[in-house]
Structure 1
Amino acid sequence: MALQVFTAVTGAAWESALVGALDRTDHGVTVVRRCVDVSELLAAAATGTGQAALLSADLRRLDADAVARLRAAGIAVVGLVEPGDDRAADRLHALGVARVLPADAEPDVIARALRDAVAGGPPSGRDIADPRSALPGPASPQPRADRAAGSGRVVAVWGPTGAPGRTTVAVGLADEASRLDVQTLLLDADVYGGVVAQVLGLLDESPGLAAAARQASAGTLDDSTLGRLAWAVRPRLGVLTGLARADRWPELRPQGVAAVLEEARRVADLTVVDCAFSLEEDEELSFDTAAPRRNGVTLTVLEAADTVLCVSGADPVALQRTIRALGELRDVLPAVEPLVVVNQVRRGPVPGDPRREIAEALERFAGHEVGCFLPADRRGTDAALAGGRTLAEVAPGSPLRSGLRSLAATVAGLPQPAARRPRSRRLLPRPARLSAGRGAS
């Protein structure tokens, strides 16, 4: 049976001759549809009448998200570029197209590449109705020789709804890691309302992460571009701010964010990502693979992270939410084993010794040990929030700051810092400070 192929190589002088040559029976390939743009190609892929797509690098609106949606629909992709156009070939590789050939290749060579692409295995290994079907799959191409995979670590800061302090932990963790001489990048990937920019006093109306994701989807993101998009908060701390409004969440697509994380591994030793809380599937979109998934970014980050921190509050309501969230995480991403961080620990909400009682409850009902306890410090966190500064700047002797510093050393793989001598709890006055500007991270 001949291989059913879609083509999307409009505008090329060699298109008609190539399609005619591929339709010969001795090649084992039949062109079932010639598409004029990406929208028509995606619509044709959703019909299930084809097995592969042959497309050119100059196809308008071709991006990594479109390639991911083709893979999710079970369509293997082969790219064609003008002979000698290495830049176009590199762009297709960056978009996720593993097999790229020059347009003047012999028809039997192109037909063989199409058959090999189809025989390479299922593109994602997930059901078409799975909300993760558009996430990067195991068939993603390996990095080019001149773009080796980065060695930096990615830490996802996640947790249930109810203000357990995810952003406080993420910002404090990134700040303390940079103070331990670790090149750090902080990403705000909360699609329900990221506030990292406000917490740090960066009144930024142009979300850096969304811009980086757009560049990544177009295959043009590199270390210099990422550096221009990041705020230089400290000499070793850069920040990619989040969405200024929650209704802009469709700007963050899983494939683009995954590419940003890969680039972040190259430019930073540690990347800290502030994630949204929700992992649930949108039932109304469960059978529409073309629709964006709001929680797809969170799933992408959790799946790609080297370490996942599950931040919980220390009161009975927060603990109940954490137990349920850990169960949801186990169902959706069973391979992810989070490190539980209990934040805002204080006497009062939990009778007896709060640390012992909380540890026993999480072990009994969730099957997880507590990796870290962070004490409550309302005075210090309030002062930091009011001044748009970090805890280390306004309350260097805070016990919460010490806990975050120890946690930063743990996730960065560093020795534990020496214990600091007890200091007065007096908050430091706010010094004059120049406005932060964009710079390299």
Structure 2
Amino acid sequence: MALQVFTAVTGAAWESELVGALDRDDHGVTVVRRCVDVGDLLAAATTGTGQAVLLSADLRRLDGAAVARLTAAGVAVVGLVEPGDTRATERLRQWGVGRVLSADADAETIARALREAVTGERSAGHQIGDPRAALPVLGLPPEESDRPVGRGRVVAVWGPTGAPGRTTVAVGIADEAARLGVSTLLVDADVYGGVVAQVLGLLDESPGVVAAVRQASAGTLDLAALARLAWAVGPQLRVLTGLARADRWPELRPQGVEVVLEQARRLAALTVVDCGFALEEDEELSFDTAAPRRNGATLTVLAAADEVLCVSGADPVALQRTVRALGELRDVLPDVEPAVVVNQVRRGPVPGDPQQEVAAALERFAGRQVRAFLPADRRATDAALAGGRTLGEVAPGSPLRAGLRALAAELAGVPASTGRRGRRRA
């Protein structure tokens, strides 16, 4: 049975000849619709009449979100670019197109790529490898030019509602890792109320993560672009600030967030992401429409992270919220195994030894052991917040800072005793 294919190849003189060649019976491909733009293509994809699409990189309004919607509709995507157009090839790769061919390829080669895209088979001649390998490394700021580029780790800092201290933990881990000599990127991806910029005394009007996701969706985000968008607040620490207003959450498209994280792995050895708390998936939006989902960015970060830290408070109410949140995470992302970090540990909210009581409660009701206990130090955190500085700057001897330092060293895989004290530069 012939493979049913859409085409969306515009602005090229060879489009008619290509469609005619693909329609020949000996290729096993039948063109069921020739789409003129992205809207026409997405509408055709929802009909279920096509199994694959052959599209050109210059298709009007094509972006990563459109490719993601095609994939979600069960339509395999093969890209065509003008011969020698490497920029268009890189752009399609960033958008998630798994196979990209030159437009001068013969019809049999293109038909074979379409069949392989549908069946999921890998072909050495047509397989697109790791997209990161094709992205340019040139254009970095001078201080980054000598830094080796590799695959860094992503740590997601997440937790239930109720202010258990997610941002405090995320900022503390990032700052301490940087002080330990680890190149670090701190990303504010909280779609409900990200305040990393305010905590560090940065301007919240800076473009930050929204601009990075926008460039990722347009296929123009590379290593140099991400480095320009992130604030350099120290020799080893960069910050990608979050949403200036919570109502701008639709701009954090999951597909764009995923590309940002891939570039972050190249920019820094450790990327720490401050996430939102909510995990609910709206079934109507998930299955009936292609509308953006507010928690899509959080779910994308948690699924892509190498390690997920669930930050919990140490009082009975916070522990109950944590138990429920861990259950929700297990239902939504069963493959994610979070590590629990209990913050604000102090005597009073629970009887007896707080660490023993909290550990026993989480083991009993959530089946989780505690990765780290962080003591409450209100005086130090108030001083840091008032000055827009980190604990390492305002309270180097704080027990909370010591706990964050030990956790950062463990996550970064470096000794905790090799850090250097120093001031952040503006």
1:191 matched to which residue of 2?
191
What is the deviation of 1:391? 1.2
Consecutive unaligned residues of structure 2, counting only runs of 5 or more, are 122-126, 137-148
2:141 matched to which residue of 1?
none
User: Once structures 1 and 2 are overlaid, which stretch shifts more, 146-155 or 61-70?
Assistant: 146-155
C-alpha distance in 2 between matches for 1:144 and 1:378:
43
C-alpha distance in 1 between matches for 2:315 and 2:23:
67
List per-residue Cα deviations over 1:258-306 (Å, max 9, x = no partner): 1111111111011000000111111331323411111111111111111
1:221 paired with 2:192, answer no
C-alpha distance in 1 between matches for 2:380 and 2:18:
68
C-alpha distance in 1 between matches for 2:317 and 2:281:
24
What is the deviation of 1:356? 0.5
- Structure 1 residues 417, 57: CA separation in 2 closer, same or farther (over 3 Å shift)? same
1:20 paired with 2:10, answer no
What is the deviation of 1:147? 4.8
C-alpha distance in 2 between matches for 1:234 and 1:25:
63
What is the deviation of 1:25? 2.2
The answer on whether the counterparts of 2:79 and 2:101 sit within 8 Å (CA) in structure 1 is yes
Report runs of 4+ in structure 1 exceeding 3 Å deviation: 144-150
Paired residue type of 2:229: L
The answer on whether the counterparts of 1:344 and 1:376 sit within 8 Å (CA) in structure 2 is yes
C-alpha distance in 1 between matches for 2:336 and 2:371:
15
2:381 matched to which residue of 1?
381
The answer on whether the counterparts of 1:93 and 1:141 sit within 8 Å (CA) in structure 2 is no
Aligned-partner SS, 1:343: strand
What is the deviation of 1:202? 0.6
Aligned-partner SS, 1:286: helix
1:364 paired with 2:368, answer no
The answer on whether the counterparts of 1:38 and 1:61 sit within 8 Å (CA) in structure 2 is yes
User: Once structures 1 and 2 are overlaid, which stretch shifts more, 193-202 or 147-156?
Assistant: 147-156
C-alpha distance in 1 between matches for 2:266 and 2:63:
22
1:134 matched to which residue of 2?
none
2:349 matched to which residue of 1?
349
What is the deviation of 1:144? 5.8
2:131 matched to which residue of 1?
143
List per-residue Cα deviations over 1:321-361 (Å, max 9, x = no partner): 00011111111112211110000011111011111000000
C-alpha distance in 1 between matches for 2:204 and 2:360:
43
User: Once structures 1 and 2 are overlaid, which stretch shifts more, 326-335 or 361-370?
Assistant: 326-335
2:43 matched to which residue of 1?
43
Count of residues in Structure 1 that have an aligned counterpart in Structure 2: 408
What is the deviation of 1:206? 3.3
- Point out the structure with the larger helix share: 2
What is the deviation of 1:94? 2.1
C-alpha distance in 2 between matches for 1:408 and 1:102:
46
User: Once structures 1 and 2 are overlaid, which stretch shifts more, 193-202 or 20-29?
Assistant: 20-29
Paired residue type of 2:298: T
What is the deviation of 1:141? 5.5
The answer on whether the counterparts of 2:90 and 2:135 sit within 8 Å (CA) in structure 1 is no
The answer on whether the counterparts of 2:132 and 2:263 sit within 8 Å (CA) in structure 1 is no
Paired residue type of 1:257: V
1:262 matched to which residue of 2?
262
1:211 paired with 2:211, answer yes
What is the deviation of 1:145? 4.3
C-alpha distance in 1 between matches for 2:184 and 2:132:
25
Q: TM-score, normalised by structure 2?
A: 0.91
User: Once structures 1 and 2 are overlaid, which stretch shifts more, 411-420 or 327-336?
Assistant: 411-420
The answer on whether the counterparts of 2:193 and 2:246 sit within 8 Å (CA) in structure 1 is yes
Aligned-partner SS, 2:373: strand
